Amino acid sequence: MKSLTSTPKSDGFRMPGEFEPHAGTYIIWPQRPDNWRLGGKMAQHTFVEVAKAIARFEPVTVAVNYDQYANARHMLPENIRVVEISNNDSWMRDCGPTFVTNGSEIRGVDWEFNSWGGLVDGLYFPWDKDDSLAQKVCEIERVDSYRTKGFILEGGSIHVDGEGTLVTTEECLLSEGRNSHLTKEEIESTLKEYLNLEKIIWLKRGIYLDETNGHVDNIFSFVKPGEAILAWTEDKSDPQYEICQECLEILERESDAKGRKIKIHKLMLPKPVLITKEESEGVDAVEGTLPRQEGDRLAASYANFYIVNGAIIFPRLGDANDDNAAKTLKEAFPDREIIGIDAREILLGGGNIHCITQQIPAVKR
């Protein structure tokens, strides 16, 4: 397939909202023992549950390294496609392609990936297989792609409304380990060119202690154009309180690319989630990988739900607010089934349901 030197905007392609129809979803199989406890065994069961829930609504493909292929094939049901793609870890949202469409064709944007901050504050080393992964997904999907040489981005650091608006955080996109050679204006204009946007809304920070430098997809998500979800807490003693207030102020002050005010649904956060001694002891200590220590607070939130055709897949975290989250999501998405998956094992790996998935938009061919 071709690597294009033009840009999606100049070619009339745009990034659709996640709530628009999907042709399918990609996931990567977890296995690295310095991120996932017990060699990924616990996380693998959770990934199977997520994949099965999504597969009720749209086709799912799971990418897996050679040495785990047989195990993944055995653990996943037959209707889920398993393909071998070399990878360093299992974050399809972040190292996979961001798909853009002109309504009849899709193409991939193959961002440069540096493990959430490269040698400044990246989360593991090396990351070369993950950086090569988007191209391989585009080959499997038979779509041409745009490579953003010299521009680093993870899919979880952006959310779009499909009508010209993107929401992101300064904490992530302006962090030293991403594109510190570019000004904020240059970053904006690259995003506008590659995703076909008119307006970028900059939140300041994401979820407290999120190791991605505050990915937006753990704190905010669009429901549809003009309507969104924001993670929320009323606990003034929690550092997260000020962050949520700040996000709301910005969202209330701003309008979107079409000049609309964005209606916000507040999604109550769970109580702080900490790593237990047993969980910490199950993770291999490796120099260059972020350690997982007993008592560390995880970036727990429900805002990282994933929208599929006809349903919402959201994390259950064993908290009293799990049911409130389901209720708020039903109010925001009345026409979709709300499905909760016990996602503690994904959270223990520093991630969430949204960042392990990537949708392929549906097009009329």
Closest CA to 267 of 312, 201, 200, 209: 312
Cβ 168 to ligand KQY shortest distance, Å: 13
Q: Does 350 bind ligand KQY (CB under 6 A)?
A: yes
Q: Which residues does residue 152 pair with via DSSP β-bridges, in sequence order? A: 112
Cβ 275 to ligand KQY shortest distance, Å: 13
Q: Please say whether the beta carbons of 262 and 248 come within 8 A.
A: no
Q: Does 214 bind ligand KQY (CB under 6 A)?
A: no
- Residue 355 a catalytic site member: yes
Piece in contact with ligand KQY (CB under 6 A), picked from 13-21, 135-143, 244-252, 343-351: 343-351
Please select the residue that binds ligand KQY; options are 30, 96, 164, 351, rule is CB under 6 A. Answer: 351
Q: Does 315 bind ligand KQY (CB under 6 A)?
A: no
Rounded CA gap, 232 and 301, in Å? 9
Closer CB to ligand KQY, 4 or 133, in the complex: 133
Task: Return the residues of window 15-44 that contact ligand KQY according to CB under 6 A.
Answer: 35
Cβ 156 to ligand KQY shortest distance, Å: 4
The most distant pair of C-alpha atoms in the chain lies apart, rounded to whole Å, by 53
Give the 3-state DSSP-derived string for 140-174, with helices as H, strands as E and coil as C: HHCCCEEEEEEEECCHHHCEECCCCEEEEEHHHHC
Please select the residue that binds ligand KQY; options are 156, 206, 225, 361, rule is CB under 6 A. Answer: 156
Closer CB to ligand KQY, 69 or 124, in the complex: 124
Rounded CA gap, 341 and 350, in Å? 16
| Cα-based distances in Å from 15 to 176, 179, 257 | 26, 21, 14
Q: Please say whether the beta carbons of 207 and 218 come within 8 A.
A: yes
Closer CB to ligand KQY, 299 or 325, in the complex: 299
Task: Give residue 293's identity as a one-letter amino acid code.
Answer: Q
Q: Does 207 bind ligand KQY (CB under 6 A)?
A: no
Cβ 31 to ligand KQY shortest distance, Å: 13
Cβ 219 to ligand KQY shortest distance, Å: 11
Closer CB to ligand KQY, 17 or 350, in the complex: 350
φ and ψ of 98, to 5 deg:
-95, 120
What contacts 192, CB < 8 A, 6 or more positions away? Answer: 9, 198, 200
Q: Does 91 bind ligand KQY (CB under 6 A)?
A: yes
Rounded CA gap, 263 and 261, in Å? 6
Rounded CA gap, 147 and 131, in Å? 11
Piece in contact with ligand KQY (CB under 6 A), picked from 69-77, 173-181, 207-215, 331-339: 207-215
Closest CA to 16 of 114, 157, 159, 143: 159
Q: Does 178 bind ligand KQY (CB under 6 A)?
A: no
Q: Does 94 bind ligand KQY (CB under 6 A)?
A: yes
The residues annotated with a catalytic role in the active site are 355
State the residues that interact with ligand KQY by CB under 6 A: 35, 91, 94, 123, 156, 211-212, 215, 290, 349-352, 355
